[in-house]
Structure 1
């Protein structure tokens, strides 16, 4: 009597299809590479230097994993992790986080104090600095930071600390890979005293009540 007919049919694992397995267990890279240990179960990051990835464009996330793997972005853990994921795994985990809703409680995680230099950040974000040939951030990232097209990521839900860190990396050539070096050129034209106000404006917006420690009369 043949036992072939008694063999159970292969069961598809939905976690593999959505990337949830990689996000929660690290997949082939092992548990030390589980995305949720840094980015949180909701993909919201830590509110400081670990970014929000929930709801980001999947193509953008795939590209960033590729950049970490080939050295265009450098971070000890992310570079190690990305280098151990194959193309299919990168696509799967990126699709998983892209399908998530952006957490609604991210504002409460911000920790930087407000600055009375906030108007300079608002001006640069919306108007740029034409005298320096600096285009506005809004022209690529949208009036509200929602991103314009798949190639320009949403800036919403990231902390001021994260924005400032990334602006410095673009400026110093430690981060690259954007088409035509647009971000490097733009960040290079932002003055040192404008970096923090710009990062704070992107993170918190113009309203003093949304800024921790805002001083009366700043805006």
Structure 2
């Protein structure tokens, strides 16, 4: 008895062609079962629940008010860059390094897009008037109200402890993952008192969605 391949060679060629076409259409974003950014954030991806974003940053990306910042509504490009920098060791943090390394580049994009799309938890308190220190050192890149610009991420409403910690990391060159080291220069010019003043001021500002980039 002849096999199907021998009796219908044209059918086999057609099937092989279709299989090749399907394979070609599979993009890298189809890997890991096509998990959404939300699912990765909830589950921790390949790292498991121990590395789930929600365990520190909250179910809605609101942060923990201490050392885990708000992620909701931050620009997707900024979030993606931070994950890449954590994975490469350009932004040192033992836990976040492992979190980022358990994600491939496409999963980092999905997670970043997920948090960028979440609504910003708006603060009820009115913003205090920006001190001259903030206007001189931060306003140009982070905006007059701390909601960010294309050059710098939103800072308004982030935990004071987290903000101070980041400035201190910049001061000692532990963190140096900005393009032109502008933050390094700004932070190293601040005194300890000024770091505290800026951190407390920004933490009191009501968070707002980042301005759209056109």
Q: TM-score, structure 2 length as denominator?
A: 0.75
2:131 corresponds in structure 1 to 122
1:113 corresponds in structure 2 to none
1:163 corresponds in structure 2 to 163
The partner residue of 2:96 within 74, 78, 87 is 78
| 1:204 to partner: Cα distance | 1.3
2:145 corresponds in structure 1 to 144
The partner residue of 1:52 within 60, 70, 73 is 70
Which structure's CA Rg is the greater one?
2
The question of whether the paired residues in 2 share the 8 Å contact of 1:44 and 1:106 is answered with no
Q: Secondary structure at the match of 2:164?
A: helix
In structure 2, C-alpha distance between the alignment counterparts of 1:98 and 1:86, rounded to whole Å: 18
Say which is worse superposed, 179-188 or 27-36, in terms of deviation: 27-36
The question of whether the paired residues in 2 share the 8 Å contact of 1:56 and 1:97 is answered with yes
| 1:193 to partner: Cα distance | 2.1
Query: Over aligned residue pairs, what C-alpha RMSD do you find?
Result: 2.3
After TM superposition, the runs of 4+ consecutive aligned structure 1 residues lying more than 6 A away are none
| 1:17 to partner: Cα distance | 5.8
Gaps in structure 1 of 5+ consecutive residues:
1-11, 108-117, 129-135, 206-219
Q: TM-score, structure 1 length as denominator?
A: 0.73
In structure 2, C-alpha distance between the alignment counterparts of 1:138 and 1:90, rounded to whole Å: 29
1:103 corresponds in structure 2 to 121
